[in-house]
Amino acid sequence: MKATFSLGRVAGIRIGVHWSVLVILLVLAFGLAGRLPDAYPDRPPWQYWLTGLLGALVFLLSLLAHELSHALVARRNGVDVDDITLWLLGGIARLKSEAPTPAAEVRIAGVGPLVSLLLGVLFGLLAGLFAALDGAGLAVETLAWLAGINILLAVFNALPAAPLDGGRLLRAVVWRRTGSPLRATAVATGAGRALGWVLIGGGLYLFLIGALFSGFWLVILGWFLIAMATAEGGQAKLRELLSGVAVRQAMGHDPVTVPASLTVAQFLTAPEYRYRHSAFPVVDAEQHPVGLVPVKTAAEAPEATRSAPVTSVMIPIEDIPTPHPDDPLVGVLPELDASPAHRALAVEDGRVAGVLTSSDISRVTTWLASSSSWRHRTF
C-alpha cells in the first residue's frame, strides 16, 4: 500500500496517507453525525457534521497511535521500520525484516491492541468526567463513541488470524512450539483466510436481510483479510526459498554507470545508455554512487532543463537500498519493494558492484523452484 501524500515524520518514522482515507473519514463522520440528532435533537445541522468530522479525525489519530506503537516497539527489538501508511481499512506499519524471536513477535504484535484498549478506556473516562462536569452533550457522545470504537478495534485486532495482531501472536506461539517460523506463518495465514470467508459469509447474509451497508463492509473486510493473508503466506514461502542466497548471486554484475557531471541531454543521446536498461547508477568523480537515473524520468524532463546534470532528475542514493554483495538476498526484499525505483545498488568498497532488480528476484525464484543446485552456482 503506497501513500498518496506524506504527513512528515514522527519519531523518525515516515507517516503517509493513502487517498482512500478520505472514504473512511467520510463514512465515520457520516455515521457519528447521523446518530447525534436522535440523542440531541434541535441542534443546528452544522454542529452534528462538525462533531462527526472531528470525531472521525480523532479516531484516525488513534489508528496512527496504534501503528506507531508497533513501529516503536519493533525498533526496540532490532527491527527497522520503513514507514506507516493510513488507508481505507486502518493502518499498516511496514517493517523491514521479521521479528528475530517469538518473544519479540509477541511484544511487537501485542502492543497495538493494548494501546487501542487503553485509548478506549481513556476516552471512556473522559466521557464520564465531561458528563459529571457539564452534563450530557455532543462532546460526551463523541467521547463515548471514540471509547467504543477503540475498544472494538482492540478486540477485533486480537483475533488469532493473520494479518491481524492476534494472528502475529498466534504465529509467535506456533513458532515457539514448533521452532519453524514458516509453519507458524502457514497456521496464522490459514486462520486469516478462514476468518475472511466467515466475514464474507456474514456480509452476504446481511445483504439478504436488507442490511446492505453493513453487509458491504463485512464483505470488503473479509476480502481484505483473505488477500493479505494469502500475500503474507506467499512472502513467507519466498523468504524460505531464498534463504542462504546472497545478493551477489542474483544481481547484475559490472553495471554501466553514468557520471554525475553528464547532462540530461548527453545521457539521452549517448549510445551506451540506449536500449540497454531502464535505469542506470549515477557516480561521482571518485566512482562513488550518488543515485539512480531512470531513463523515463530523464526523457520526460522539459527541453529547457536538459542542459542540467543528470543529478537533477535522479533518485538520490538515500532512497535506494545499498546492500553489500554478500548480504542475504532475503534481507533486501522489503527495501527493494519500498524503493521508488524497485532497484538496489550493491556497493562494495564504496563502488557499485551490481544492480539488483525485481526481475532478478523473479528469475532467481524460478530457478530455485526448478533446481536446488542453483544455490551452488557462481557468476
pLDDT one-digit tens code per residue, 202-254: 999 999 998 888 899 899 989 989 998 998 888 888 888 888 899 999 999 98
Q: What's the total number of domains in the chain?
A: 2
**Is 196 within the bounds of a domain?**
no
| One domain for residues 151 and 255 | no
- Residue 346 sits in a domain of what CATH number? 3.10.580.10
Active-site pick, 67, 105, 141, 232? 67
The DSSP secondary-structure symbol of 97 reads: S
Query: What mean pLDDT, rounded, does the chain reach?
Result: 89
- What residues contact residue 374 under an 8 Å CB cut-off, 6+ apart? 364, 367, 368
Position 267 pLDDT exceeds 80: yes
| One domain for residues 150 and 261 | no
At which of 116, 140, 158 does a domain end? Answer: 158
SS (H, E, C) 299-347: HCCCHHHCCCEHHHCCEEHHHCCCCCCCCEHHHHHHHHHHCCCCEEEEE
Q: Which of 12, 156, 6, 157 is nearest to 71 (CA)?
A: 12
Instruction: State the sign of the Cα–Cα–Cα–Cα dihedral 269, 273, 275, 281.
Output: negative
At which of 128, 158, 188 does a domain end? Answer: 158
- Alpha carbon separation from 296 to 63, 274, 300, 316 (Å, rounded): 37, 11, 6, 16
Rounded distance, CA 15 to CA 148, Å? 26
Identify the domain containing residue 147 by its residue range.
5-158
Query: How far is C-alpha 143 from the chain's CA centre?
Result: 29
* 348 included as an active-site residue: no
What does the pLDDT read at residue 371?
Answer: 67
284 vs 374 pLDDT, higher one = 284
**Is 34 within the bounds of a domain?**
yes
**Average of per-residue pLDDT across 357-370:** 87
Q: Which of 89, 93, 58, 91 is nearest to 73 (CA)?
A: 93
**Is 268 within the bounds of a domain?**
yes
Position 377 pLDDT exceeds 50: no
- What residues contact residue 42 under an 8 Å CB cut-off, 6+ apart? none
Confidence of residue 89 (pLDDT cuts 50, 70, 90): low
Confidence of residue 200 (pLDDT cuts 50, 70, 90): very high
- What residues contact residue 375 under an 8 Å CB cut-off, 6+ apart? 244, 245, 249, 368
| One domain for residues 145 and 277 | no
| One domain for residues 18 and 119 | yes
At which of 118, 143, 158 does a domain end? Answer: 158
What does the pLDDT read at residue 9?
Answer: 85
**Average of per-residue pLDDT across 180-191:** 92
What does the pLDDT read at residue 378?
Answer: 43
Position 48 pLDDT exceeds 80: yes
Confidence of residue 333 (pLDDT cuts 50, 70, 90): confident
Mapping DSSP to helix (H, G, I), strand (E, B) and coil, where does residue 27 land? helix
Instruction: Name the range with the highest mean pLDDT among 35-39, 70-74, 97-101.
Output: 70-74
What does the pLDDT read at residue 379?
Answer: 42
| CA angle in degrees (0–180, nearest 5) for 48-53-58 | 125
Position 135 pLDDT exceeds 60: yes
What does the pLDDT read at residue 316?
Answer: 95
**Is 315 within the bounds of a domain?**
yes
| One domain for residues 122 and 9 | yes
What does the pLDDT read at residue 38?
Answer: 84
**Is 179 within the bounds of a domain?**
no
What does the pLDDT read at residue 275?
Answer: 67
What does the pLDDT read at residue 321?
Answer: 92
**Is 69 within the bounds of a domain?**
yes
Looking at the DSSP assignment, which residues form a beta bridge with residue 259? 283
Confidence of residue 54 (pLDDT cuts 50, 70, 90): very high
Position 111 pLDDT exceeds 80: yes
Dihedral angle over CA of 54, 59, 64, 69, nearest 10: 140
Rounded distance, CA 184 to CA 233, Å? 10
**Average of per-residue pLDDT across 147-169:** 94
What does the pLDDT read at residue 3?
Answer: 67
What does the pLDDT read at residue 374?
Answer: 46
Rounded distance, CA 295 to CA 275, Å? 10
**Is 38 within the bounds of a domain?**
yes
**Is 189 within the bounds of a domain?**
no
